[in-house]
Amino acid sequence: MKYILSILLFFLLVAPLAAQNDQDRVIFKAMQDEMQRNKEQLVLPGMQRPYYLSYTLGRYRSFEVRASLGGIVNAYETPWNSQGAVQMFLGNDDHNNDFIYGFAAAQLPMPADIDYDVLRRNYWMGSDIMYKWSLQAANMKESYLKANPRKPEEADLKDRQRVEPVTRIENAKNAYSVDLPSLENVAKELSAIFKEYKDIFNSSVTISGSDIEIYKMTTDSVILKEPMRYTNLYASAYVVTEDGIRIDDAYSILVARPEDLPSIEDLKKGVKAFAENLIKLKDAPVITEYYGGPVLFEGGACSTVFMSNLLKKGALFAYRKPDTDQVQAMKTLNDRMGMKIVDSRLTIKNYSSLDKYNGTSLLGAYTIDAEGVVPPKEVTLVENGIFMGMLNGNVPAVKAPESTGSLRFSLSSRNGAFNLAPGTIHIKADKGTKPEKMKSALIKAAKEEGLKYAYIVRSLAGKASRIYRVDLKDGSETQVRFGDVTGFTLPNLKRMLGISSKENVSNYIFNGEVLSSMIYPSSILVENIEINKSDVKKDKEQVLTFPLQK
């Protein structure tokens, strides 16, 4: 009977793959065969056997073109490479050996050319490593929980939510073409722009990207293949002020494929504007006195305010306290569920499969998460300012016991590692203010407080922050530098003076790991913000002057 069941299980898992290509079949066959063997035989005398196994394989190819002052510095395109990982749990879903509630796995080298025998050998090695580690982890967790019993509200939480069986094989819809000579020409043309600016140092333009395929199979009968790809254009440079302080800044554009980059004319405009802004920042007067009052946050600064306060574990992302002293526990908003946390005009939702908004492609779109959970198309996190819910994976948390399908594959590891992350966050304002009236509202609020001037912040980037002092009489703006902006905490967002009705749409890599998108008000007016002079240090001067400074 055991033999018959094994044969039936094999065909149930492999049958949906029959229409796939030879490479897919070899990968999934190696995963299935070694997983079945380890599930049945991997056990030491008197020890627990694994109840959950996950095998992943990431295949990827990358490219990079880097130019400086019109010349190519570096250019390469890699062939396909592979990395794998093994994840394992002992015990059961109610209580297993997971004590950090994150991605803990054996990292595996994998063959660039897919080979059944090599794949099985490496998954065998990874399974052995993870089994021994899991036994140690189980003992550590038991010892910790004996000394630190869980709080009553945590006592009944399962350690893991079981995932329903699913097979989802996705192939990329469009080709990811890398025309290296063409990209070199683009990088050279853009980097040559900096020749016109003798006060800009160490300038470069880099175009890079990756085409990634993630394969995954688990003992929950989850079978996945998911493509991920991105292309990033990144210009960077620095200037040095007259008093010897270095200011580094960068300009970035993120798209899915090299073909999706804007036209060369638009790219030139963007890079030239970046260079001009860097020069203006270098020559801007220094903030010399304390300011406390209303501040208008626009563009990138506005998204930074929302991200730093809301898009993190313990806020709109669920958090499970680790069962160890090795990781410091963090504060959460759990106690504020059902309460107002932001302005009543704001509703915040997470979209999973939405792939376009107002004509902009959303890189955060996905149809299934890294554990095989199909996410709801829309999850309301905040409704009219009231905290309603959190995004979570399949580790139950006190206020988020069910998965929202929000575990996303990581770009950097390329081996199937995952992180809790959004798809597309939409911060929508009800009855917002017309954008052209936001500055007038700032001036009015500053006058009512008896202030001499007000501030607009358009980016928050340390020494490179773009801060503008506004004259209350005529509304004229003066760019200033070296200001520490503080006070944009969650309490400040509960009752804002103004929220723009216009929306911005942006794509970004969340925490440097996950492709995500955000739709947010183009500006917000917040009171009780403090701006102080930054404590900046001078850098050592170069021995010789820059060659372009003849």
Supply the CATH number for residue 118's domain.
Answer: 3.30.2290
User: In the predicted model, what is the mean pLDDT of residues 308-313?
Assistant: 95
What tokens does 543 get? 């021995």
pLDDT at 6 over 50: no
Sequence letter at residue 523: S
b/e map 268-297, b = 16+ CB within 10 Å:
bebbeebbebbeebbebeebeeebebbbbb
pLDDT at 468 over 60: yes
The helix (run of H) or strand (run of E) holding residue 293 is strand 291-298
pLDDT at 2 over 70: no
Q: What is the pLDDT of residue 329?
A: 82
What tokens does 296 get? 């208008």
The answer to whether position 496 is within a domain reads no
pLDDT at 335 over 50: yes
pLDDT at 5 over 50: no
pLDDT at 542 over 90: no
pTM as predicted = 0.93
What tokens does 121 get? 């050998």
Q: What is the pLDDT of residue 536?
A: 85
The answer to whether position 498 is within a domain reads no
The answer to whether position 40 is within a domain reads yes
What tokens does 318 get? 């669920």
CA distance 339 to 15: 49
Closest CA to 228 of 285, 173, 163: 173
Averaged pLDDT of the chain = 94
Window from 4-13, 92-101, 139-148, 500-509 with minimum mean pLDDT: 4-13
- The burial of 69, by beta-carbon neighbours within 10 Å (0-12 exposed, 13-18 middle, 19 or more buried), is given as middle
pLDDT at 16 over 70: no
Closest CA to 346 of 466, 451, 426, 280: 426
CA distance 60 to 80: 5
pLDDT at 1 over 60: no
The answer to whether position 480 is within a domain reads no
What tokens does 223 get? 């079978």
CA distance 327 to 319: 13
Q: What is the pLDDT of residue 111?
A: 93
The answer to whether position 475 is within a domain reads no
CA distance 281 to 466: 8
CA distance 305 to 491: 12
pLDDT at 25 over 50: yes
pLDDT at 10 over 90: no
User: In the predicted model, what is the mean pLDDT of residues 54-74?
Assistant: 98
pLDDT band at 12 (very low <50, low <70, confident <90, very high): very low
Per-residue pLDDT of 415-439, as tens digits, reads 999 999 999 999 999 999 999 999 9
The answer to whether position 408 is within a domain reads no
pLDDT band at 550 (very low <50, low <70, confident <90, very high): low
The answer to whether position 487 is within a domain reads no
pLDDT band at 17 (very low <50, low <70, confident <90, very high): very low
Report the percent of the chain where pLDDT is more than 70: 96
pLDDT at 205 over 50: yes
Name the residue range of residue 167's domain: 2-233
Closest CA to 230 of 412, 424, 461, 416: 412
Per-residue pLDDT of 361-380, as tens digits, reads 999 999 999 999 999 999 99
pLDDT at 490 over 60: yes
Report the percent of the chain where pLDDT is more than 90: 90
b/e map 317-338, b = 16+ CB within 10 Å:
bbbbbbbbeeeeeeebbbeebe
Q: What is the pLDDT of residue 341?
A: 97
Residues in the chain: 550
What total of structural domains would you count in the chain? Answer: 1
The answer to whether position 192 is within a domain reads yes
Q: What is the pLDDT of residue 13?
A: 47
- The burial of 139, by beta-carbon neighbours within 10 Å (0-12 exposed, 13-18 middle, 19 or more buried), is given as exposed
